Amino acid sequence: MIEQILDIWLVVINVIAYSTMSLDKSRAVRGRSRQRIPEKRLFTLAAIGGAVGIWIAMLTRRHKTKHRSFVIGVPALLVLNVLVYGYIFYFLLRG
């Protein structure tokens, strides 16, 4: 039961992360700087499990790819996500 909840969480947070990054890209293209998504929020989404969604959006939408903090930070958070969630799945849930 907990495994399914965690699976759903990872899917949902990555869809939210991708959508948020895509929305920020749309706003950036239109030049609506006051309504942009703060980078802190994008990194928070990546840190809590949405790194895959952020990374895919970076590649497919070509957004934040010139920002060194994203080019290095998002893959680092992806590795952290894999380690943390992998540990949870392997050691805590499967015993």
pTM for the predicted model, two decimal places:
0.92
21-36: average pLDDT? 89
Does the structure show a pLDDT above 70 at 67? yes
What pLDDT is recorded for position 54?
98
Q: What is the pLDDT of residues 14-25, one digit of tens each?
A: 999 999 999 999
Does the structure show a pLDDT above 70 at 51? yes
The percentage of residues in the chain with a pLDDT greater than 70, rounded to a whole number, is 98
* Residue 72: its H or E element: helix 68-87
* Alpha-carbon distances of 11 from 26, 64, 71, rounded to whole Å: 23, 22, 22
Does the structure show a pLDDT above 80 at 94? no
